[in-house]
Amino acid sequence: MKSICIYFQIHQPLRLKTGYNFFSIGSDHFYEDDDLNRKICNKVSRNCYIPSCRLIYRLISKYRGKFRVSFSITGIALEQLRRYNPEVIELLKKLSGTGCVEFLSETYYHSLAFLYSRQEFIAQAEKHRKTISQLFGAEPVTFRNTELIYNNDIASAAAKLGFKNILAEGAESVLGWRSPDYLYTAACHEDYAGNEDITSHAAPEVLDGFTGKPLLNLLLKNYRLSDDIAFRYSDKNWKEYPLSAEKYINWVKAALLNRELINLFMDFETFGEHQWKETGIFSFFEDFVSSIIQNSDIDFILPKEAAGRHKSSGIIDVPHYTSWADKERNLSAWTGNALQRSALKMIYRLEKDVKLCGSEELLDTWRKLGTSDHFYYMSTKYFSDGEIHKYFNYFYSPYDAFIIYSNIVNDLHETIKKRMPDENTEKSCVFPSGTVKIPQPIMDAL
Amino acid sequence: MKVLMLGWELPPAISGGLGTACKGIADSLASNNINLTFVIPSNRGEKTALDRRIRVISADKYHPAEALIKKTTLKNGYAAKSYPGTGTSLSPYHTSYTTCEKGYPECAGNRDEILALIENQQNLGSILHFTGNYGKNLFDEVMNYSSVGSALGAVETFDVIHAHDWMTYPAGICAKKVSKKPLVIHVHATEYDRSWSGANREIVRIEKKGMEIADKIITVSHYTKNMVINKYGINPEKIEVVHNAVSKDIQFSRYQIRKNFSEKIVLFLGRITSQKGPEYFLEAAVKVLNKMNNVRFVMSGNGDLFPGMITKMAEYDIAEKFHFTGFLKGAEVEKIFAMSDLYIMPSVSEPFGLSPFEALLYDVPVIISNQSGAAEILTHAYKVDFWDTDKLAKAIISLLENEELRSEIVKECKEDIKSISWDTAGKRIAEIYCSLCGKTAV
C-alpha cells in the first residue's frame, strides 16, 4: 500500500519592538512588541488555526480514522496561543483526542541552538518534549529540527535523545539520484560531541545488529508536491494555475506509481493565511483528502507509523547541513551574511554568563532571542527568495533588524552583568580586552 | 542695504550643516542692519527659525514663475535624466544625484520680457513643487529654482545677490542677469568635498560657472579657498574667507541625561558617506578595542555607506562595543553629545565642519582630521590625517585614559573659538557687500 504522510508546522516568532534604539539600552528591558504579536496571533488564529483545525477535525470524524496528520508546534507559538487565543489550544487537544494526530518534537524556542551549543540544543528539545507530553498526553517519538535543518550529527543527537523518527528536506544535494518518496534510515554515529550531556535517556532501543549504531527512520519532504500547495497554489503566473484537487491527485498518483511514500511537509499557516480563504485553499484540501480516501488505495499515515508500513530503502548520508528554506536549502537564510553571523555569535557568547546568573527569567529571555526568525530578518538575499524574506519581515530593512537586535542583546548583556553573582564576574567570557582579531577588511562589502 | 539671499536649507528642515550656517549668517546680517529677503525651495509648512526682521520667500509658493520655467526649459533643450538612488530605505539622504543631460539653466530673457510674462500669468494657481531634498529630482528642482531667481530678479529691488552652494548658483546667475546687480556666491562645500571618489561632472560645471560669473566668492575656510583656486581655476583675488561659527542659541540643557553604561563613549556624528570618513572611525575603533575594553563607539547618521559600515562592523564582530543610531535629530543629538566622552571627525575633505564646534558646546573634546577647515581654527584640538588610523587609535586611547588632558583640550579649544562668532562672520560679509555696491550697510 502506498502512503501520504502530512506534517504541518505551527510557529509564531516573538517579534521585537522596532523602536528599540541605542538610547533604550540600559533603560528598557521589555523587548517584545506585545501589541503586534497579539494582533498577528489573533489574525492567524482567525484566518487559519481555527478554521483549519475545525476542517481537520471534521475530516478525521468523517473518515473514521483514515485521515491522519501530524503537527509540530513551537513552544513560543504555544505560549502566545495560550495567552491570546486559548481556543486554538482547545481545538488542538480535541484533535489529539481523536488518536489520528501525532505531535512532533523540536527545539522549544525554534532556535538554531544545534549549530552553536549542543548543551543548549538538548535542553530546548527536552523542554519542548515535556511541554508537548503534558499538553497532549503522549510523549513525542518523532523529531523535526528548526526549519528542517538536518545532518548526520543532528540525527545522531535526536537518536540519543530517544527519538525514533526524524524529518528532513528532500534536497537533491542529499538524495542525488534517489527519490524522497521512500522511507530511509538516518546515518547516525555515536561519536558525536555532545553525548556526555545526555543522561536522561538511555541508548536507543533499536540498534543496527551489525554496527551497533542507532537506527533512526528518516522521512524526506517531497518539496515539489509540498510547495505546489504551500507556495504556488495561488500564484497566477504559475503555468499550472489554477490548481484543482483532481490535477494535484493525478500528480500524487503518478509519483506513487513506482514509489511508496509521499511526505507533504508545510507551514500550517498555508491554509487561510499564506493562501487566503478566497483562493479556495480549504475546499481544495478537503477535495484532495476525500478523493484520496474514497477513490484510491493510498492511505494517510503518521510519521511514527511509517516504519511499520514501509521498509527502509537505505541509509542517507548527510554530512553537511540542509534545510527547507530558500532555493539553496541550506543554512544561508540565517547565517548567510556577516550581520547574521555576528548577531548569532553575539547571543551565544552570552550563554555561559546567563546560565551563571541562575535566573530562569533571564534564561528564558536569552533563549527567546535565539529564535531563528530574528536572524532570518537580517538576510540580504534579494533574489527570488528575497520576496519570501520580505513577506515575513516586519522591519524596514535587514540593517534595521540587525541594529535593533544588537541593541536588545546589548541591554540583556548589561542586565546579565548586573545580575552576575560576584564570585563569577571573573569568569565572564564575553569580550575581555584583546579578543578582537582584525580580519582583512572586505572592501567588496562597501 | 537690501540683499536677495538664495538658500537651499533652513532649520528646522535641514540635513546637514548648510542650513545651520545659513541661519547663522542671515541672523547676524539682520543684526548688522542688512535688509534681507531669504528664498528657500520650500518651507514644508513649517515656520523657519529665522530672525523676525528677515523676509522669507518659499519658492513653491511663488506663483509668477511657471511661465518662466516653461520658457527656460524650451530655450535650453533641457532634459533631466534620473538615476535611481542607491540608499537603503533607512536613508532619507541619497547621495546619488540625477544629472542633467544637456545645458545649463539660463535666464529666460531680459527684465522687460520677464515682467511681461509674469503680468500675463498673474492669475495662475500655485505650481512649483520643491522637496528641498537631495533626492532624484534634484536637478529639476535646481532648474525650477533658477526660474524663481529670474522672476525675483525682475520683481524685487535689492543691491546684492547672495547664493549659498551650487543648488542656488543658477538662480543667482539668473537674478544677476536680469537685475544687473552684483552676485556673491558662498562656497560651503564643493563637489570634490562631497564626492571624494567621483565628482559629478554636471555639478562641477554648475559650480565652476557660478564661480566665474560671481563678483565675489566667500569660502568657509582657507582649505576651501585653495580648493576653489586649484580645482576650479578661479582668481584668488575674487575670494574671501569667512569662517563659520557655532550658533550660540543652540539650545541645550543639561537635563538629567542618564548614561546607561560604565564605558566611555566615542562618537562619530555625520552623514555616513565617503566624505566624512566613517570607515577610518571604524578601523580606529577596532584597533582601540584590541587594546582596551572600557569603551563603546557610536556612529550616528545616515548615508550611502550605512549598509557597508554595518556589514563591515559585523565582520569585525564587535557589535557589543560598536553601535549605530541612525539619523538623529533635535533632543537625540543633544543627548548623544551629552553622553559622549570624545568626538571624532575623521573627514576626508571637510570645508569647514560644524560638528566639532557643537561637540565643544557639550564639553566633549574633539579629534579632527587635518583635512578639515575646522583644523585652521581649533589649533588646540587633537589632529590626525584621516588615513592614519594607527595614530587616531593611539590618540583615542591616550585621551580616554587621561581625563585631565580631555578637559584641558576642551578648555583650550573653547578659547580658540571665542573670537569666532556669527556676529564676526556677519560683519565681514556686510563689508564684502559694501565693497561691491559702494553703499554703507545702513
pLDDT (tens digit per residue) in B157-185: 999 999 999 999 999 999 999 899 999 99
Question: pLDDT tens across A167-195, in order?
Answer: 999 998 889 899 999 999 999 876 544 44
- Portion of chain A with pLDDT greater than 70, in percent: 86
Q: Is A410 on the interface with B (CB under 8 A)?
A: yes
- At position A79, the amino acid (one-letter code) is E
Question: Given a cut of 50, is residue B253 above it in pLDDT?
Answer: no
B202 neighbors B139 (Cβ within 8 angstroms)? yes
Least confident of A122-131, A193-202, A251-260, A377-386: A193-202
Interface residue of A20, A21, A22, A429 to substitute, partner B, most B CBs within 10 Å? A22
- Of A6-15, A74-83, B47-56, B245-254, the poorest mean pLDDT is in B245-254
Least confident of A56-65, A287-296, B123-132, B397-406: B123-132
User: CB-based contact (8 Å) between B317 and chain A?
Assistant: yes
Residue-wise pLDDT tens digits, B307-331: 999 999 999 999 999 999 999 876 6
Q: Which of A129-138, B237-246, B328-337 has the lowest mean pLDDT?
A: B328-337
Interchain pair B290, A442: CB under 8 A: no
Give residue A165's pLDDT band: very low, low, confident or very high (50, 70, 90): very high
Provide the 3-class DSSP secondary structure of residue B5: strand
Q: Given a cut of 60, is residue B236 above it in pLDDT?
A: yes
What pLDDT does residue B198 have?
Answer: 75
Q: Which chain B positions have a beta carbon within 8 Å of A381's beta carbon?
A: none
How many interface pairs between A and B have CB atoms less than 8 angstroms apart? 107
- In which band, very low, low, confident or very high, does the pLDDT at B102 lie, cut at 50, 70 and 90? very low
Give the CA diameter of chain B: 72
Residue B269 near chain A (CB below 8 Å): no
| Residues present in chain A in total | 446
Mean pLDDT for A224-237 is 94
Across the range A79-96, mean pLDDT stands at 97
Residues in chain B with CB shorter than 8 Å from the CB of A418 are none
Q: How high does pLDDT run on average in chain A?
A: 88
Confidence of residue B92 (pLDDT cuts 50, 70, 90): very low
Task: Tell if the CB–CB gap between B319 and A343 is shorter than 8 Å.
Answer: yes
Whether B260 and A27 lie within 8 Å, measured CB to CB: yes
- What does the pLDDT read at residue B207? 94
What was the pLDDT predicted at A382? 64
DSSP, res A187: -
How does strand B366-369 pair with strand B99-100? unpaired
The pLDDT of residue A16 = 96
Q: Do A439 and B287 touch (CB under 8 A)?
A: no
Residue A38's CB: how many other CB atoms inside 10 A?
A: 14
Question: pLDDT tens, B386-411?
Answer: 999 999 999 999 999 998 999 899 88
Per-residue pLDDT, averaged over A332-356, amounts to 95
Window 221-250 of B: residues touching A by CB (8 A cutoff) are none
Q: What is the mean pLDDT of residues B415-431?
A: 83
Contact B18, B9 (CB under 8 A): yes
Using the Cβ of A436 and the Cβ atoms of chain B, whether some distance falls under 8 Å is answered with yes
B12 inside 8 A of chain A by CB: no
pLDDT in tens, B191-218: 888 876 678 888 999 999 999 999 999 9
Please provide the DSSP assignment of B49-96 as one string.
---TTSEEEEGGG-GGGHHHHHHHHHHHT--EE-------TT-S---P
pLDDT value of residue B72: 54
Q: Cα separation of A114 and A143, whole Å?
A: 13
The whole-angstrom distance between B260's CA and the closest CA on chain A is 5
A414 and B318: CB-CB below 8 Å?
Answer: no
- pLDDT band with cut points at 50, 70 and 90 for residue A203: very low
Whole-number Å distance between alpha carbons of A124 and A113 = 8
Q: Hunting for cell 547541513 — which residue is that?
A: A321
CB B394, CB B402: distance < 8 Å: no
Alpha-helix runs per DSSP H in B124-257: 138-155, 169-179, 191-194, 201-213, 222-232
Prior bond of B12 cis (ω within 30°): yes
Is the preceding peptide bond at A140 cis, omega within 30 degrees of 0? no
Give yes or no for residue B250 having a pLDDT over 90.
no
Nearest-by-CA chain B residue for A406: B319
Bridging pattern class, strands B55-58 and A298-301: unpaired
| Shortest alpha-carbon distance between residue B325 and chain A (Å) | 6
Rounded Cα–Cα distance for residues B80 and B143 (Å)? 9
Contact assessment for residue B10 and residue B48, using Cβ atoms and an 8 Å cutoff = yes
Contacts of B97 (CB under 8 A, 6+ apart): B83, B134, B136, B138, B139, B200, B203
**Record: contact A441-B317, CB cut-off 8 A:** no
Please enumerate in sequence order all residues whose Cβ is within 8 A of that of A22, keeping only pairs 6 or more positions apart, or say none: A407, B298, B323, B324, B325, B336
Cβ <8 Å between A338 and B326: no
Tell me, what's the pLDDT at A359?
A: 93
Average pLDDT on A65-86 reads 97
Tell me: pLDDT of B376 over 70.
yes
Residues of A labelled catalytic: 147
Q: What residue type is B50 in one-letter code? A: L
Note the ipTM here. 0.84
pLDDT at A47 over 70: yes
- Residue B441 clears pLDDT 80, i.e. is over it: no
Overall average pLDDT of the A78-107 stretch: 97
Smallest Cβ–Cβ distance between B90 and the set A396, A432, A446 belongs to A396
- Window from A121-135, B81-95, B274-288 with minimum mean pLDDT: B81-95
What pLDDT score does B63 carry? 64
pLDDT of residue A307: 92
Interface contact A25-B261, CB threshold 8 A: yes
The yes-or-no verdict on residue B48 having pLDDT over 70 is: yes
Output the pLDDT for position B418: 72
Q: For residue B389, give how far its alpha carbon lies from the nearest alpha carbon of chain A (Å).
A: 13
- Please give the pLDDT value at position B16: 66
Q: Residue range A319-341: average pLDDT?
A: 92
pLDDT at A209: 53
The residue among B70, B91, B83 whose CA lies nearest residue B138 is B83
For residues A140 and B322, give the distance between their C-alpha atoms in angstroms, rounded to a whole number. Answer: 44
User: Is B123's pLDDT higher than 50?
Assistant: no
Does the CB of A383 have a partner CB in chain B at under 8 Å? no
- Contact of B314 with chain A, judged by CB distance below 8 Å, is answered with yes
- B385: closest CA of chain A, how far (Å): 20
Identify the residue with better confidence: B424 or B190. B190
Share of chain B above pLDDT 70, in %: 79
Spatial strand order in the sheet of B382-384: B322-326, B295-300, B264-269, B342-345, B366-369, B382-384
pTM over 0.80: no
Q: Look-up: residue for cell 569603551? A: B295
Q: What type of residue sits at position B48?
A: T
Cα gap B322→B282, rounded to integer Å: 9
Share above pLDDT 90 across residues of chain B, in percent, rounded to a whole number: 41
Contact at CB, B335 and A436, closer than 8 angstroms: no
pLDDT band at B255 (very low <50, low <70, confident <90, very high): very low
